[in-house]
Structure 1
Amino acid sequence: MPYTLPLVLPDSLVDAHQLDLTAPYSAGWGVHAYDVVAAPNGETYALYSVSRYTPTVDRKEPDPAIAHFTYRVITRYSPDGVPQATALCCPWAPNEWASAVANGNDMTLCVLPDGLLTANAHPDRTTFIAPDLSEVVATYETEGRRSFEEFVPGDPFAGSISTTPSGRLLCVTSEYGVRGYGNSLPNIVGLADGALTPDHKPSIRAIASLDPEPARQTEDDLRPHVRFEGRPVGLDNRPRPSLTETFEPGALVSRFGLDQLGRPAPLSDDLFVVPAIARRGSRGGSFVFALVNDEAEVTGPLQGMDKWGDSPFTGECFNVAAGHGHAFHLNRYGLYAWDSDGQLQTKLSTQDKAFKPLKNFTLMTCSPAGELLLVHARQHLVLRVPVPGNLDQLGTAVEAALRGYTKERTALKNLWAPTEWHWVQPDAQAHRL
């Protein structure tokens, strides 16, 4: 199995918009990776965007060669790393086609136990996509609520979904008024009570909250499918003590305190890592990777990180991954690994020459096979790092993966002839979702 996968751009998209792949991103365009997930059968899916914005061009300019545009791109790879299909969704451009995928903030992917792919975005929009990316099967979506706008309930499910080892669904849902904001933001972590299908939306049992008392809620803000202690979450009903009450007790509400919920990662079927960070943080700012169990108990933080020396705010690296009973985090200062008790087992410092290349990667997730999936932000390549059973051997495994990355990157360059690390796939008619 190869270490390295390219984030491909269909040549039809590049040609239609006459993209100058040699232009720097400061010119107003770019490719940005959002998520990479793997299925139990070894297939991999990558979600990323390609966009262009030029201040001197009218926003309503219809000519695709100069108009502003944004697409989300989903690519499916075979177990041996070959791109099998690429689909475009969620376009923004004058006179563009309408996508059946529910667009939203912080979009991520999840492969459900039955093999269907979901694209999930806040506030609580879930789209089912066929495994071969051929079609959108169904959608649960809502507009959420904003201040001074008429509330339309819609049919929401979750803003992000992850699967536990046995196939339970770990979800994040939104609430109105979180930390005083006048819109719907992620605030609840919960477990789905049964299978999620296009024909069945299970209830979600809340196990953790970020903000214990969101502001200005009404009966409209109750979500019947998100429940705590048998009642819909909302108003005064949600798990407490919240993450802010646990880790910042008595602190005043502040944009520099814990006020943003990250995507949780399942350590096991009944133990999860929940990131919480300051929305306006900088190096040394507030963050915590909390351990929460399925009985709504916060059992502690992941230990061993210094707020300054190990700060995830440098480069804004907030993702946590988990697999086979271990949790992982990668930022500009190192790759960290913990056991299920939250004890730091290994730190691979990026000050060490062997691990310095890790500064260029972003951690996405851990695959069912126990591989860390990383994305190189500039070279637009996915790196798979097999995690050894003994974390004492993690450094050796990472060094091997980085050597494999260098070798396979050279082979891909010879095969694809990329332009400034943009991997254009010839004769690719990307399917529109």
Structure 2
Amino acid sequence: MTSTLTVPMTRPASLMDSRRVDPASDGCGFVAHHAVATAAGDTYVVSGAGRYRWEAEEATDPGEQNFACQMITRYGTDGRPVAVALYGQSRPDGTPSAVEEGSEPTLAVLPDGTVAVSAKPGSTYLISSDLSRVLASWRMPWGWEEEKERNGDPYAASISVTPSGRLLCVTSEYGLSNLAGAHPNIVALSEPGDPLAPGSKATLRALATHDARTARQTDADLYPHVRFKGAPVGRDNRPSPSLTEIVSQDAHRAYDYLDCTMGRPAALGDDLFVVPVFGRIHRSGNRGQVFTFALLDDQGAVRGRLEGLHRYEDSPFTGFCFTVVGDPYRARAFHLNRHGLYAWSADGRLRSRMSTDDKPYKALTHFTLLEATPAGELLLAHRRQHLLLRVPVPENLDDLAAAVEAALKSYARGRTAWKKEYDPVNWHWVDGSARVHQL
């Protein structure tokens, strides 16, 4: 019997056939970007797949050309794929996809069951729960189109849903410092009862600004759905001081957080959130660079930070592991990097640390933390074997280390069971049973 704690992240057989993908050959790639679970136990995973070969640069046969696409896969409670939505590539009849391929896509399941997929710099699409239809689109142009269509009609670069249905979002802005294009810069929150739906763009109240260097902004850079003090965010109308200024107050050197980046916020409840801020990435030698996991309330006040991590010993810059996830139903936060898995309570106190130097947890170095589920599980993706591991988190975080050790031991058994069913080649899990939709 196959394990539901270990689930293969599959690719549609129809995609492999139409593109004549040979799993045994080089050049075939797959990456899991994000995953979310519903209260009923279904799981949605957004991933990217593609092929690149030098010899295919001049190919005219679509089945031989290089390609890249993204997909959303819905898995049932038994771990098997139910439906797949392909996007970011042309449909079989040659028409463009209704959903553009975006950078660092993330998912959210809205209170009515609709799936929202958002990507940088700020595009959001609503998709039916069965993945068959695109219900609404709000697009922020990127690349060479940015200056041509500067205003666009964006919504958010990422969305998370709190227990009461509030939307915790990051929105992007043009005209920041001397940067070209749009960049995620505002942490914002909707109110319960204000839905994000076709024809209804939930208003977002700005809680925090990452970078306040906005002297270059004009009226064209204002969006009516992102507001502060009753008016659209822009120029000086924004929360102050900025997150960069706040975290710099605790830095050893004033310039430590110069040109820092902001990670994806995570909800610890309806009114408390963690916002990661990371020092500037250099070409080499990033281990030991500064970072802060700031705690922010729903009025925009900083209430502390997640404590207990060492800049060097616990550095997220090793492997660039910048994800922090929250369990808003139980008020706790989690982070996984190459050095360990960490868990905090809502007061910022480090409650559990599992070092990857210790043998029982060494395998964690192969996993990426994607999300926490409403049922209180962590979703981890194996980067090479492309399996999703669900780690049940006990109510008492003091017992988490034992639960993680048990889940890692069960991983191998689950992997063996699924291999008997799918017989993967080079860890390509190919499925022909799920219904495939071209968006």
TM-score tier, shorter chain, comes to: over 0.9
RMSD, aligned α-carbons: 2.2
1:132-211 map, 5 Å: 132-143=130-141, 149-193=147-191, 194-211=194-211
- Name 1:235's counterpart in structure 2: 235
Contact 2:82 2:433 (8 Å CA) reproduced: no
**Which among 374, 382, 385 is matched to residue 376 of structure 1?**
382
Residue 45 (structure 2) pairs with residue 39 (structure 1): no
Kept in 2: contact 1:386–1:397 (CA 8 A): yes
Give the share of equivalent positions with the same residue, in percent. Answer: 48
The 5 A counterparts of 1:381-392 are 381-392=387-398
- Tell me the distance in 2 between the aligned counterparts of 1:77 and 1:117: 14
Q: 2:320 aligns to what SS in structure 1?
A: coil
Over 3 Å counting, the alpha-carbon distance change for 1:330 and 1:352 in structure 2 is: same
- After superposition, the C-alpha distances for 1:126-172 in whole angstroms (9 at most, x for unaligned) are 11111111111111223269799234422221111001122211000
Letter in 1 for 2:353: K
* CA distance in structure 1 between the aligned counterparts of 2:238 and 2:410, rounded to whole angstroms: 47
Residue 259 (1) aligns with residue 260 (2): yes
Q: CA deviation at 1:97?
A: 3.9
Deviation at 1:107, TM superposition (A): 1.0
Please tell me whether the aligned partners of residues 91 and 97 of structure 2 are also in contact (alpha carbons under 8 angstroms).
Answer: no
Instruction: Give the deviation of 1:412 after TM superposition.
Output: 0.1
Provide, for residues 196-237 of structure 1, a one-character-per-residue CA deviation record: whole Å limited to 9, x for no partner. Answer: 111211210000111012351111111111011212111112
Change (3 A) 1:144 1:13: closer
Q: Amino acid of the residue matched to residue 231 of structure 1?
A: A
The answer to whether the Cα contact below 8 Å between 1:160 and 1:263 also exists between their aligned partners in 2 is: yes
Cα pair 2:48 2:71 within 8 Å, conserved: yes
The answer to whether the 8 Å contact 1:175/1:214 transfers is no
In structure 1, the residue matched to 2:309 is 305
Q: Distance in 2 between matches of 1:36 and 1:191?
A: 21
Q: Which runs of 5+ in 1 are unaligned?
A: none
- State the match for 1:278 in structure 2: 279
What is the one-letter code of the residue matched to 1:296? G
Equivalent pair of 2:82/2:434 in contact (CA under 8 Å): no
Conservation of the 8 A alpha-carbon contact between 2:33 and 2:106? yes
Q: TM-score, normalised by structure 1?
A: 0.93
Q: SS at 1:182's partner residue?
A: coil
Which amino acid in 2 is paired with 1:297? A
Q: 2:9 aligns with which of 7, 10, 13?
A: 7
Q: Measure the CA separation in 1 of the matches of 2:65 and 2:17.
A: 13
Q: CA deviation at 1:279?
A: 4.7
Does residue 115 of the first structure (1) align with residue 113 of the second (2)?
A: yes
Q: How does 1:217-232 map to 2 (within 5 A)?
A: 217-232=217-232
Structure 1 CA distance for aligned equivalents of residues 181 and 208 of structure 2: 20
CA distance in 2, matches of 1:178, 1:137: 32
SS in 2 for 1:245: helix
Residues 92-136 of structure 1, C-alpha deviation per residue, up to 9 Å, x if partnerless? 799954111143222111000110001111222111111111111
**Secondary structure class of the residue paired with 1:121:** strand
Q: Report how far residue 340 of structure 1 moved.
A: 0.6
* TM-score, length basis structure 2: 0.92
**Distance in 2 between residues matched to 1:262 and 1:177, nearest whole Å:** 20
Superposition pairs of residues 349-428 of structure 1, within 5 angstroms? 349-426=355-432
Deviations 1:44-79 (A, max 9, x none): 0011011122334336x4312321211101110112
SS at 1:330 equivalent = strand
**Is the alpha carbon distance of 1:147 and 1:80 closer, same or farther for their aligned partners in structure 2, counting shifts above 3 Å?**
closer
**Residues 5 and 427 of structure 1: CA distance in aligned 2, closer, same or farther (over 3 Å):** closer
Closer, same or farther in 2 for the Cα pair 1:148/1:162, shift >3 Å? closer
Distance in 1, matches of 2:433 and 2:348, equals: 49
* Alpha-carbon distance change, 161 to 148 in structure 1, aligned in 2, over 3 angstroms: closer
Counterpart of 2:6, as a letter, is: T
Of stretches 417-426 and 145-154 in structure 1, the one that deviates more from structure 2 is: 145-154
Counterpart Cα distance in 2 of 1:427 and 1:42 = 20
Distance 1:340 1:146, change over 3 A: farther
CA offsets, 1:246-301, max 9 Å, x none? 112497778x7453221111001100011122352421123221111101111222
User: Is 1:68 equivalent to 2:66 in the alignment?
Assistant: yes
SS of 2:224's equivalent? strand
- 2:81–2:434 contact (8 Å) kept in structure 1: no
Kindly tell me the number of residue pairs found equivalent between the two proteins: 428
What residue number does 2:23 align with? 21
Change beyond 3 A, Cα 1:29–1:178 = farther
1:330 & 1:370 partners in 2: Cα distance?
16
Structure 1's 253 and 173: CA in aligned 2 closer, same or farther, altered over 3 A? Answer: farther
Seen in structure 2, the aligned counterparts of structure 1 residues 404 and 215 have a Cα distance that, compared at 3 Å, is: farther
